Structure formats: C-alpha cells, structure tokens
Amino acid sequence: MGAVKVLSGSVQKIRSGLGSANDIEVDVQVASGSYVHWSMINMYQSIQNIVVKVSPKNTNSTTYLLVNSHYDSVPGGPGAGDDGSMVATMMETLRVLAQSKTALKHPVVFLFNGAEENPLQASHAFITQHKWAKNCKALINLDSAGNGGREILFQSGPNHPWLMKSYRRAIKHPYASTMAEEMFQNNFIPSDTDFRIFRDHGSVPGLDMAYQYNGYVYHTRFDRAEIFPRGSFQNTGDNLLALVREIANSQELEDTSKYSEGHTVYFDVMGWFLVFYTETEGIILNVIVSLVAIGTCLYAFKLMAYNSGLKLEKLLKRVLHTFAVQLFGLMFAVAITLFLGWFMDLVHLPMSWFTHSWLILGLYFSTFLFGLAIVPAMYFHYTKEDKLPIGQRVQLLLHCHCLFLAFSTLVLTICGVRSVFVLMLSCLFYTMGLIINLATKLHSKDVAWVIPHIVCFVPPFVFFAYFSHGFFLTFIPMFGRFGENVNPDLVVAVFSIAVGLLTCGFIVPVLHLFRKSKTIICALLAITLVCVIIAITPMGFPYRPETSVQRFSVLHAKRTFHDADNKIRRQESGYFIMPQDRRTYAVKHDVINMTLAQKIGADCQKEMMCGLPLYNQRWHKTRQNTLWIPASEPLLGTVPAIKVISKKQVSPNKIRFELQLSGPDHMALFIQPLNGAVMKDWSFHQAPLRLNFQPPYFIYFSWGVNGDPLNFWLQLEKTNGDFKTPLFELGVGGHWTHHKEMLTPDFTKFLNSFPKYVDATPWPASYETWIY
C-alpha cells in the first residue's frame, strides 16, 4: 500500500507539469485471477497495478507501446536493484515524455506492476484484464538480476525482427546477445520475467532487458540503493528514452502483424555497435562461411602436398592422422576438465571461485588448454622424424581444427541453434588469415605464416574475451542460488571448455613452434595445481560478508497432521531450511543445533509434499534436499483454516465438496486424491485436469488489498461409488513473509548464530493437513 501511494504521488506530480503536446490517463488496477506456472496453479486476489498512459493530444491511434517494471520485492529484500532501479528509470522516462513539447506518434502505456515476485501475477492481471491491454502491440520489459551495470537485452520477439532494428537505431551503447536469449528460454537461468506472461497470455512481442552486474546481492537484504551505481541510471535512462521514442514513432507499430516473420540473431561488439540479422540470413551466412572454410582448407592441403613433394594421397593420410590427434586432444581436454569439476565437488571444495572468479582461469581454463596442447605435443614428439617441417605440421593441426568447427557449425545450424554464430566467427577469421597466407605464399614458409594468422585472430579473440567476461560476470553469482542438486564446478568446467575452445582453439597449436613448447604446456598444468592448493586455503572459501553471501531461506514452522477422524496424528515445530547452493555443510559447525539437522527425504515417502509448507514451485522441485531442525513453537498470526460448506453426491459415482479457505496473504494449497478417487472437476484453473497433471495438485494463493476468504469446490469421481472411505487429503501452508515482529527470541537467536557471510531470509510458517 505504501509503494502504491508513493508511486501515485510521483505520477500526480508529473501530471501537474504536463506539456502541451500530450495527455495522461492514470488507472490503479485491482485484479484477481489465475494461471498455470509450470505445474503450479498461481492464483491471486486483489493485487494492484499502477497504469499510466501518455497519449498525443487528439490522437486516433489504437496501438500502444507497453513499458513494464515491478515495484514489489522478495521477502527480506529492499529491492533497490530488482526492480526499484528500473521503476525509477521508468518514472523519469514518463516525466520526460509527458512534459515534452513534441508528441509521439502512438500512445505509451507505463505499467508499474505490483506482484512480479509472487510470481508474475500482476503482469498476468494486466494483460488478461485491463482495458488497455488489447491495444498494446509491443513491449519493453525492464527487470534486474543484479544491482546495476549495463542493461542487457536477452530476449527479443518472438519473431518481429523490426524490434531489433528499432533497438539498433535507438541504442548508442548496445549490450545484447542471442546466446543469452537461448540460454534463458531453455531454463539455464534460474529466473523468470514478466516478458513470458505478455508473450504467452497476450501474444505481445517485445524486448526484455535487465541488469546483471553484482548478482551477488540479488534477492538478498544487501540489494540496497546505496550501492547502486549512479551511472547505471544515466546509461539506462538514455537508452530507454531513445528506445521508447523510436518504437512509439515507428510505422511498424501501426500493424505489427505485417512485420512479424522471422527470428533474429544479434550480438553487440564491445558495446560499440550491434550486429543483427534474421535467422534465415544467419543460416545462409553459416553455410557459406563453413563451406568456404572447408574448401579453403582442402585447397591448402593440395598446395602443401605440391610444395612438400608428397603425393596428395599420402598427405591426406597425414591429415586424417592429424584430425584424429586433434579430436583425441579435444576429448582428453574435455575429460580432464570435467574430472576436475567432479573432483572438486567430491572433496567438498566446490565454488572456490565464487568470490575470486580469477580462480576459474587457473582451475579449469588452464586445465583445458593443457589437455588441448599435450596430446599434439606427444604426437609431434614421437613422430619428429617426419619429413614435413614442424611449421607445416602445425598448419595441418590448425586446418583440422577449422574443419571441426566448420562441420560443427553446419550441424548446429541444421539443429536451429542461433548461437552457433560464435563458431561461424571463428571459422570466418581463421579462413581470412588462411586466404592471406595462400595469396601471399607465406603458407609455404616455416614461421612467417603465423603473422597473418595471429593478426586475423586478434578481433575474434578480443570479442570472445569480452563476450566471456560478460558471461561469467552474469553466471558466477547465479551459482549461489542454483540449488543443492547442481554441481556448480561441473557447470563452470563446461563453460570454461566452451570459452577455451573459442578463445584459444586457434592459438594453442602455435605453441608447438616454440623450442620450449613442452615447458610452456607443463606450466599450464602447474598453474592448475597452484590454484587447487589456493582453493584449499581460506582464500578459496566461497563467501564474504555482504559482498558475496551464502543464501538460505529459513522458516520457523509448525506442522500439524490430522487423520480421517480429524484427530491430530502428528504435530511438531522446527526450523525448515531451504539451501540455495551446493555448500550447505559450510555452516554446519557454526549454527545452533545445525548438527541435528535432518534431511527431509524420509517424510517425502510418507507425507504429501514432504509434509512441508512449500512456498512456490521452485521449492517444490528441491524439496527433498531441505533440512529440518526440531525447535520451539513459532509465533503465528491467524492460521489458515479450511471450512467445509457442503458435501453433496451429484451422481452414483461423483461427489462434490464446497470449501472455504482463509488465512494470511501467502498460502499454498495441496490436494491429493485417496483410495481410488479421481479429481474430475474443480473451480480452479482447468489446465492441470485437462493436461492430466499428476497429483498432488499445487495451488499457490495470495491476496493484496482484500483478504476475503477463498471459496472453491472440488468434484471427485470413484468408479465403485464408495464414498465412505477417505476421498482426498488437503494440506495448507501459511506464510507470514513480511512480519519481522513475529520472529520469536529462540528463532532470532538461531538466525544470529549464522555466520556473517550468510544471508538468511526468515519468516514464520505453518502447515496443516486434513483428510476428507
């Protein structure tokens, strides 16, 4: 309510200074509804949006641009980065446009949505219910996975390549990546944005942008305004204002369906400019570059045979041997890098690079380069009597690497992977260097050919280094919330392999030209050993207070289970702990009674939903890794209550229950049919029944302004018509997420025993089940 008041006041101030060219309309939307979020019904009641429309005076346009951000934050999080920063930027953009003397061609709707973290409820409320929603034909979504930096464009469309053209024209310093888009859409990133709701429920194409710098503080109590870089406001504000003007004045917005065809491939180069082309153009480019690379390598083989006096057949045999060596070297490099990732986790040293990210270079990057270099080095050593000069043999190795990348590019292009442009760029610049060598006949020299090769590879090397820096800058903090199931070192090893292949795949073979090449290669292994030693020391400990914290969600919960006679069969209180990374054991000897913590897995075999007050779908996925510590009873508010309004048999084999749920503003409802009963119908969203979701069913329910009880009905079917036995179990979890005054002294003492490097998000909760 306080946020709504503050934002409404800001909008009114802007309205009072309205320019002569525009009109402003303001609407505070209060809405209720539901949708299916993964396998969970996400249900909301009386949540609020602040919606502002800036229109040119006397306009006839019926197509609007939608700009969205959210003003809510996670429990315990100030939300300065996520997403207060974008709300402030949006408000300033609204002010500039509203007070401008120049009108835009089309109206712009600014949606300040009040329930994104719940998750994504307010955007669903707007796009499915608001009076202006049907007129919104394009979207700019603003979110955050960090606290400042440059905003990255990581989703575009779907289709509608004109949006990327608008972005390229408007943005002076672009930061965008198709690879980020494909990774996000394939669930490699443990987040979601309102973009998906507008896309899936409103068919609104758009651009999805977010901060990702300093993701360590994302969704923690340290996401504060004091640490937000002020330059980020200026950069994002300039970009957003220019982009809004570009799209709102575009011809394409009049009828977006005319310009909807085609996915896009896009990436920025050092933030200087944007490279953008359609997916079809990308396919053509990938095929042409790959075929030219293959053809140029084959021609180089022919010239090498001619210059060396070897028959072409014998040289091609050498090529096959070299290709096998190159492939085996790559396989060996991948194997030892992955082994190290597995080993570091096995010896309880994962995430040693979490604070000191440079350790990744020594642990995994050096390991991969060592493996890539040592196999060819051994091959050259044992075949040193070969008549081909070492310079020619190294060229063979490089040509074979190019062939490997070219064929990989073709295969991935056929598979529809747009991010394959990175392999295409490697092939392109290597082929350019090779063509220069062939044209100048430097290829026949022992060493001189290296100069064009290195010079031509400098641009892609710099680009890949820039690209990889942004990639790791984004992903390293995310491993602090990937959950306990994922071995982060194995994932980082995979990333390091990809980065090593791109940045150094055409550089490592050149090492074999040095007289002390084996010394250089062994130095790479020495670097790995030194970094493994550092990982064992305190320097390798992953966490630091405030700047790179370990995350836990800690609920002080009371669990009550009733039997079919409505008698309590089990009741207990304790601390329900949800780890968010791999290194849960780090706090084992620091936290009070942590040595008594029990894995909840046993309860998962005998209780519905493990008998836990699961907060949302992500908690449901990782529920078997949660911990339970017996403790004193929590202080709770008005606990959730289920009231049976009526029970009526509607046919020989069907029965209907009408029920009422009341309780706090965040609740989870679980339903499990029993004894052969089947859920045939209900008042909730129909998708889980229509799509045959497996029970227990999960309904997440939250309310905002109005906390009236939720009335619902269930209809079950039993083929034998026997309704005397229990038909279903119903569980309700209650969450008091924003009530610090409800933390008991015992719970506060328990929380204070966590090390300073831990961000523990606490709240009281309850879980109660009944059988009907």
Per-residue pLDDT reduced to its tens digit, 616-639: 888 888 888 899 999 999 999 999
More confident residue, 677 or 38: 677
661 bridge partner residues: 642, 710
Which residue, among 603, 633, 670, has the nearest Cα to 765 in the 3D structure?
633
Ramachandran region, residue 351 (left: φ > 0; alpha: ψ -120 to 50; beta: rest): left
In this prediction the pTM is: 0.94
- Are the beta carbons of 265 and 164 closer than 8 angstroms? no
Structure confidence at residue 269 (pLDDT): 96
Residue 375 pLDDT: 96
Q: Evaluate the omega torsion of the peptide bond into residue 696 and state whether it is cis, within 30 degrees of 0.
A: yes
Look at residue 601 and tell me whether its pLDDT is greater than 90. Answer: no
Contacts (Cβ under 8 Å, ≥6 apart) of 183 = 189
**Structure tokens that stand for 255 in this block:** 């009828």
Position 517 pLDDT exceeds 80? yes
CATH class, domain 2-262, is alpha beta
Confidence class of residue 231 from pLDDT cuts 50, 70 and 90? very high
**What local confidence, expressed as pLDDT, does residue 622 receive?**
86
Q: Residue 625 has what pLDDT?
A: 87
pLDDT digits (tens, 9 = 90+) for 353-375: 999 999 999 999 999 999 999 99
Q: What is the DSSP annotation of 429-467? A: HHHHHHHHHHHHTGGGSSSTTHHHHHHHHHHHHHHHHHH
* % pLDDT > 90, the chain: 88
Q: Which pLDDT does position 186 carry in this prediction?
A: 82
pLDDT digits (tens, 9 = 90+) for 259-306: 998 889 999 999 999 999 999 999 999 999 999 999 999 999 999 988
Q: Is 562 helix (H, G, I), strand (E, B) or coil?
A: strand
Question: Would the pLDDT of 315 be above 90?
Answer: no
**Arithmetic mean of pLDDT, 426-430:** 98
| pLDDT tops 80 at residue 706 | yes
Domain map (residue ranges) of the chain: 2-262, 280-540, 550-772
State the angle between helix axes of 366-382 and 517-536 in degrees (0 to 180), rounded to the nearest 10.
Answer: 150
SS3 at position 530: helix
Q: Which helix (H) or strand (E) holds 761?
A: strand 758-771
CB 576 within 8 A of CB 761: no
Report which DSSP code applies to 661.
E
**711: confidence class by pLDDT, cuts 50, 70, 90:** very high
Number of separate helices (H) and strands (E) present in the chain: 20, 21
Question: According to the model, what pLDDT value does residue 89 have?
Answer: 98
Residue 187 confidence (pLDDT) above 90: no
Q: Which of 5-19, 104-118, 400-414 has the lowest mean pLDDT?
A: 5-19
